[in-house]
Amino acid sequence: MNLKLTQFSEEIILQFDQIPADRKLLLDKLTSYIQGNQNIDKESFLMFICTHNSRRSHFGQILCALAADFYHVTGIQTFSAGTEVTAFHPNAIAALRSIGMEIQATDNSSNPHYIVSWSPTHSLDAFSKLIDYEGNPKEHFAAIMTCTHAEQNCPFVAGADFRIGLPFDDPKAFDGTVQETEMYLARVHQIATELFYVFSRLIH
């Protein structure tokens, strides 16, 4: 993990007291799911789902992987998906780069693939995709709903053995405004704080 990301992570873990109590109760359910798998040496497949798979679901997938690495938790695989295909949004990419993520496009299509890396040995392929994309798990995974629309319109996710609604406000509302950068970063910090909290609660 590079110095900038290490500093970001160390700042995030000081913010757990800012998470509302009712939100912590939800997050503790996700910790329990992961802990149950850890107790039997079973991998946890965590899929973050939002309508367009362009902003919040990518934040979830990438920041969850970072949290697992920070806490040295093995057996974690993260994924993201949507109910529609769009593209990994440039504003979301810019926000992640600003905290130290290295992100490189591998093509120039309308829905480019990006290699996102946070250490020499940790990276993932990020792009917009449907829930049933062939590279996503088909069974025994957690479906983590990161937006209200997906939460309300996908009451059942086929193959998931755990489903939880963790909606976050959409930074898209600030696209093209003077608050754009600030609000995307605010969402990155919120999602990171909650996911780092989840992993901090695991018993190794």
- Domains, the chain, with CATH or none: 48-198 (3.40.50.2300)
Query: CB neighbours (10 Å) of residue 100?
Result: 17
CB 2 within 8 A of CB 118: yes
Mean pLDDT of the chain: 94
- What percent of the chain clears pLDDT 70, i.e. is strictly above it? 96
Q: Is beta strand 160-165 parallel, antiparallel or unpaired with respect to 141-145?
A: parallel
CA atoms within 13 A on the CB side of 144: 30
pLDDT at 41 over 70: yes
CB neighbour list of residue 39: distance below 8 Å, 6 or more residues apart:
none
Q: Residue 147's pLDDT is what?
A: 83
Question: Strand 141-145's sheet: what is its strand order?
Answer: 76-81, 44-49, 141-145, 160-165
pLDDT at 75 over 90: yes
Express each pLDDT in 158-186 by its tens digit.
Answer: 899 999 999 999 999 999 999 999 999 99
